[in-house]
Structure 1
């Protein structure tokens, strides 16, 4: 599984990158045919005082891409919410495959 993490409008610290990598390693337990995972961490509303943190995750599996996006006040929370949604999608995809 090839993992690529991209940050937009900021530089991520190692603690955040470690958190993302640690969670993504669990993904292979749900579905073993994952080709690659792209994670995009973005800052939104740069012109305003309140900066929303957006986490987008795209998972490539054979013949399909899965995509989730969540937004909250912290990157960890955004990523965790997106990851939970992604796990549900992966599980559904696996169930469809074996029906």
Structure 2
């Protein structure tokens, strides 16, 4: 699986690159038909507490799979976004049979 990571309104973080890549790798092991992931980290300056945003779009057979979370820290945003993707992938797995 190819992972592309972008940072909007903030500097690049190697720690977040590693964290999100590790989490997405676990997802890719469960669902081997995921082709790639587009990850966007964004900092919303006017949000006092919950300005940390993680958006992930997955390329896989069928309609696009997308989730995003806005939290007080990026780790939590990644965790919640990937949990949401996992739920969508479970549903897709039931309707999508692969060889």
Partner Cα distance (2:28, 2:14) in 1: 22
Unaligned runs of 5+ in 1: none
Q: Using the TM superposition, name which of 68-77 and 50-59 deviates more.
A: 50-59
Q: Using the TM superposition, name which of 70-79 and 7-16 deviates more.
A: 7-16
Partner of residue 68, structure 1: 67
Q: TM-score, normalised by structure 1?
A: 0.89
Query: Aligned to 1:37, what secondary structure does the other structure show?
Result: strand
Give the CA deviation at 1:30: 2.0
Give the CA deviation at 1:64: 2.0
CA RMSD of aligned residues (A): 1.4
| Higher share of residues assigned strand | 1
What does 1:1-99 align with in structure 2 at a 5 Å threshold? 1-44=1-44, 46=45, 48=46, 50=48, 52-98=51-97
Moved over 2 A (4+): none
Equivalences, count: 96
Unaligned runs of 5+ in 2: none
Partner Cα distance (1:35, 1:49) in 2: 33
CA 96–81 in structure 1, closer or farther in 2 if over 3 Å, else same: same
Give the CA deviation at 1:36: 1.0
